[in-house]
Amino acid sequence: KKKLRRERLADNVTPLWRMSYEEQSNILLEMTKQLFPPPSIVASPVSDGYHNKSTFSVNRGVDGNPKTAGFYIGNGKTDNIDCVQGDHLLNMSSKHKMIARHYEDFIRPRAVCQLDSLYFQETTMTRCSHEQSPYQLLHGQSHIFEEVLGFGEVVLIFQFLSGKAEVVLPNLMATLNCDGGLTAGLNPSRAAIRRLVYISRKPDGEAMRNFRGLCCSSDYKTPTIAVPVDLFPHTPHCELVLVFER
């Protein structure tokens, strides 16, 4: 019974965990080919333990212990829900698994865990927003700084501009030094600029409607570049990077 629940949890969180990484990449490539014909998929440099954040719930486990730290499976509406430990999940880091066990035993996190941050949220629901029940920082830093794709820590200086992109951007471009052209990354993308980079985790949904509208109602060409990037190994999700040009 415990094994079945562990496999059920793995199927929910990491549906492709039974496959080799090569098989997973082929599935992602076939999925994106239905939308755009990318030459290949950019593989994740790390396939296991890549999550930099884990959120655990504490509730009744398979053995009936109400102090089990893990993830929910089942149907909360019918009160048929269990909290299953996530030690076997491939996307969880070893230190997050360790801290879950320490927390489950009501032991304060030890330095060996090397955690950046530990937050706690008290709630009677399976999901709850920060506004409904604020997160409490129990240990470490309030923010996480990490290296992204080898670029190290990046400090961005930015300003929020309120208004429609097609109105704001022309005035903004006049104040910028754009001799080499301006490339913008927007989510969602609506801007009237020469080159537009669109990144979407679900390109077959609302993003696809944006693509059609962009190419049909403006002089943007169909994507000149389409590259799927695998950021979520063992799952059927990837980030699709598209470049539209006038």
The encoded tokens of residue 91 equal 């996307």
pLDDT band at 223 (very low <50, low <70, confident <90, very high): confident
Give the pLDDT confidence of 86-108 residue by residue, as tens digits: 989 999 998 888 888 878 875 44
Residue spans of beta strands (DSSP E) within the chain: 57-59, 68-75, 80-84, 117-120, 136-140, 183-185, 195-200, 225-229, 239-245
Strands 239-245 and 225-229: antiparallel
* Residues 121, 243 within the same domain: no
Query: Does some domain include residue 1?
Result: no
Q: Is the pLDDT of residue 217 over 90?
A: no
Is residue 206 pLDDT above 80, yes or no?
no
So what's the pLDDT on residue 91? Answer: 92
Do both 163 and 199 map to the same domain?
yes
**Secondary structure (3-state) at 215:** helix
**Does the predicted model carry a pTM greater than 0.75?**
no
- Looking at residue 151, what is its pLDDT? 47
Any domain includes 10: no
- Which of 14-23, 53-62, 137-146 comes out lowest in average pLDDT? 137-146
Type and span of the H or E element at 22: helix 21-33
Q: Is the peptide bond before 188 cis (omega within 30 degrees of 0)?
A: yes
pLDDT value at residue 213: 75
Are residue 42 and residue 87 in the same domain, yes or no? no
How confident is the model over 155-164, as pLDDT tens digits? 444 456 666 6
Per the model's pLDDT, the better-predicted residue between 132 and 17 turns out to be 17
> Which of 110, 140, 170 is where one domain is finished?
140
CB 12 within 8 A of CB 84: no
Please check whether residues 201 and 232 belong to one and the same domain. Answer: yes
Does residue 31 sit in the same domain as residue 85?
no
Q: How many domains does the chain have?
A: 2
- Please indicate, yes or no, if residue 130 is contained in any of the structural domains: yes
Residue 145 has pLDDT above 50, yes or no: yes
pLDDT score, position 154: 44
User: Does residue 167 lie within any of the structural domains?
Assistant: yes
Among 68, 47, 58, 206, residue whose Cα is nearest residue 126: 58
| pLDDT tens column, 163-190 | 666 677 677 767 766 555 555 555 554 5
214, part of any domain: yes
Cβ(13)–Cβ(70) under 8 Å? no
169's tokens = 């951007």
- AA identity, residue 74: G
The DSSP letter of residue 132 is T
Task: List Cα–Cα distances, 156 to 148, 153, 159, in angstroms.
Answer: 14, 10, 10
Which structural domain, as residue segments, surrounds residue 76?
53-140
